[in-house]
Structure 1
Amino acid sequence: MSKSNRFNSSRLPTAKGMDMATVYSPKECSRKAKHIVLSPANKTIIEEFQAILAMKEQFEEHDVPVPNKIMMFGPPGTGKTLTAFYLAERLGLPLVLARLDTLIHAHLGETGSNVRKIFEYAKAVPCVLFLDEFDALARTRDNNDEVKEMSRVVNTLLQCLDEFSGESIFMAATNLETELDHAIWRRFDTKMNYLPPDRSCREEYIRLVVDKFETEDVFESRAVDLLQGCSYADIEQIMLKAKRKAIITGQNLTAGLLQTSIGEYLPQRNERSLAEELE
C-alpha cells in the first residue's frame, strides 16, 4: 500500500468533537515553506537528516539508529514552524500539525490519552507529526507550582517518544526550552537552535519576499539595515505592509515606505541580535 493510500485510509483521532490535528499535503507544505531561510548550521542539520533517512538500510546494517525526532527551539518568528513544513515537503510526507486546543483537556487524564492517540496515529500513518508550543505538554516535573497530575502527562509523553518508530518523523518546537523536562529533552536525537536572522540571512529572506516586486535601486541594502534585530515573521509583515502602501500610491517599493511601515508595525527587536551585529 502506498504512503498516500495508507494516509487516506486512516482517520485522525478526535477530541472535544474536533480533529486533533490539521493535515497538509506535501504540495501544500511546499507553498507554505517557499520563503524559508535556514541558518548555515540548521541547513546542515536538515541536509544530514535527509541523507541519513535516504540511507536507512546502510545504517541498519551497522546497527546505528536512524534519527526520527527533532527539537526546534528559539524565539518566536524565527522559522521553526516553516522548517516542519519544509522537511515534510522534502520527504514527500504529509504534515500533521497537532492542535493543542484539542489535545489539552481540563481532565489531565484525558490529555495523556489524547497524546497517546496522536502518537499512535503517526506510528500507523507515515507523516511528519509536528507539535508547536511543546512546553505546554512537556514542562519540567520539578516545578512545585505545577499541578502534580501534569507529571503523568509528561510520563505518557516520555513513553510515546520511547515507543515512536516506523516511517514517521516527530518534530517539536518551543520558545521556552529551559522549561522543558530534562528527560524529555534527552529523548530528541536532533536539536536545532533558532535565532533572529543575521545580516546574510536577512539579505536572502528580503530577496525572497521582494520577489518580482519593483523596488528603488537601493531598497534591498537599506532594508537589510532597517530590519536589523527583527524576526523573519516581523520582516514578512513589515514588507507586506510596505508593498500595500506601494500599490496604493502607485510607486515602487522604497526605503521610505519601509520606514513608515516599521513605525506602524512596531516590531519587538531582539536586543542581543542588535548588539552582536554592532560588535
Structure 2
Amino acid sequence: MTDSPSAFALSVGRLVAKLKHVDLELAQELSAMLPNGSALRGTDSFTPTPVDIDSRMQLVEVLSPVILDKKPVLAEKIKAVLDACLKEWASIDLLLKEGLAPAHMLLFCGLPGTGKTLAAHWLAQELKLPLLTLNLATVMSSYLGKTGSNLKAVFDHAISRPCVLLLDEFDAIAKRRDDGSDVGELKRLVNVLLQALDDWPANSMLVAATNHGELLDPAVWRRFDVVINFEKPDAPLIEQYLHDMPITDAFRQSLAKLLEGESFSAIAALVLSARKRALLEKTELQPQLFKLAVHSCTSRGHMAKPLDGEMLLMHLEGYSRREIAAHFGKTHPTVSSVIKRYLGE
C-alpha cells in the first residue's frame, strides 16, 4: 500500500462515507482529519530521477510544464470521455472526502499515429501536472530481475508528487502471462506491474498506451478505470485537423476524402513533405498536397478505379483533359467526371 497523502485521504473518505449512515458524529471527526489544501499540491520537485544501474541512463523522461501548440483533434466520443475525466479531476478534493477517486488510470488502445500519446500530453497540460514518460528501451534489461527493479524504481519516483505517468508501448511490460513463448522473467514483470498499479495514488494520472491490446494480460485490463479505443480519423475529422492549413474549404474537403484511412501521423508527414516541396520548387502548396494525397490513396488501393489516380496526376501536371483522355483511351466526359469527383472542378 502506498503511503501517499491521496491514498490516506481516499481511505479515510471511504470510511467516512460508510460511517455517515451509522455514526454521523464520528464521521465528522474523521473527516476533519483529512489534510487541507488541494490533493494536486505536492512537493516542489520529484525525488532524483531514477537511472539504470548499468547504463546510467534515465528510466523516465520528465516534461514540465507541458505546452502544446494546439489542442489535439479527437473524435467526439473520445473527447467526451476525456472531458468527463477532467471534470472529475476539477473536483478531486470533494471526491476524496467522500471516499471516491477521479478516473486516474486510463488505457489507450489503437493503431500507431492515431493520437494516443498526444492525448496524454493534452491531459497533462490541462491538469497542469508534469508528464513523466517511461523510457522503455532503458527499463527493459537483459539481466534477470533488472527489468522489474527498473519498473519499480519508475513507479516509486512517479508517486513522489502528483503527475501524469505515460507508459507507452504498454504491451511490452504487460504481456499475457499465459503466453507459452515467454520466459518466466516477463511473467514476474507483470506481477511487479500489477502491484504497482494497485498502489497507484488517486492524485496522479497513469496513462498506458498500446498498439496491441489483444496482447495484454487479462488482470491488467481490470486495473483501469477508463479504456479508450483510438481509430484512424474519418474525413470530417481530417478536415478539422487541416483547419489551419492555408487552403480553400473545397480543397480541404477533397483532400480529407483522399486521406481517409491514413493516421494523423501519416497526414502530418505528408503535409510537411508538401510544404518543403512547395518551398523548394517555388510552387503553390495545394497542388503539392494533392499530388502526395493521390499517391497515398492510390498506394492504399482507395481510388474508386485504378486509373483515377493517374488521370488526376496528369491533370495536376498541366495536361489537358483531351490529352488525358487520348493517353488512357477514355472519353473526354470520363476524364472530366474523374476530376470533378475528386477536385470538384
TM-score, normalised relative to structure 1: 0.86
> How far has the Cα of 1:166 moved from its partner?
4.6
Matched residue, 2:291 = 260
- Structure 1 distance, partners of 2:291, 2:198, is 51
Q: Which has the larger radius of gyration?
A: 2
Are the counterparts in 2 of residues 230 and 270 from structure 1 also a CA contact under 8 Å? Answer: no
Pairs within 5 Å for 1:35-114:
36-114=72-150
- 1:259 aligned partner, one-letter code: F
State which drifts further: 242-251 or 177-186: 242-251
- Structure 2 distance, partners of 1:9, 1:64, is 26
Counterparts in 2 of 1:82 and 1:113: CA distance versus 1, 3 Å: same
Matched residue, 1:194 = 230
> How far has the Cα of 1:125 moved from its partner?
2.1
The alignment covers a number of residue pairs equal to 263
> How far has the Cα of 1:43 moved from its partner?
0.4
Counterparts in 2 of 1:216 and 1:26: CA distance versus 1, 3 Å: same
Are the counterparts in 2 of residues 72 and 194 from structure 1 also a CA contact under 8 Å? Answer: yes
SS in 2 for 1:114: helix
Sequence identity, in percent? 34
Answer yes or no: is 1:241 the counterpart of 2:235.
Answer: no
- Structure 2 distance, partners of 1:124, 1:263, is 51
1:167-199: CA deviations, max 9, x gaps?
221111000001100001110111111000012
SS in 1 for 2:133: strand
Are the counterparts in 2 of residues 219 and 253 from structure 1 also a CA contact under 8 Å? Answer: no
> How far has the Cα of 1:36 moved from its partner?
1.4
Are the counterparts in 2 of residues 38 and 201 from structure 1 also a CA contact under 8 Å? Answer: yes
Using CA pairs under 8 Å that are at least 6 residues apart, name the structure with larger relative contact order, 1 or 2. Answer: 1
TM-score, normalised relative to structure 2: 0.71
Pairs within 5 Å for 1:148-187:
148-187=184-223
Matched residue, 1:131 = 167
- Structure 2 distance, partners of 1:117, 1:142, is 26
Counterparts in 2 of 1:264 and 1:77: CA distance versus 1, 3 Å: same
1:7-43: CA deviations, max 9, x gaps?
535221001211111111224x423xx2511111110
SS in 1 for 2:208: strand
SS in 2 for 1:173: strand
> How far has the Cα of 1:247 moved from its partner?
1.7
Are the counterparts in 1 of residues 110 and 229 from structure 2 also a CA contact under 8 Å? Answer: yes
- Structure 1 distance, partners of 2:201, 2:214, is 27
Q: 2:59 aligns with which of 5, 14, 20?
A: 20
RMSD, matched Cα: 2.5
- Structure 1 distance, partners of 2:298, 2:222, is 34
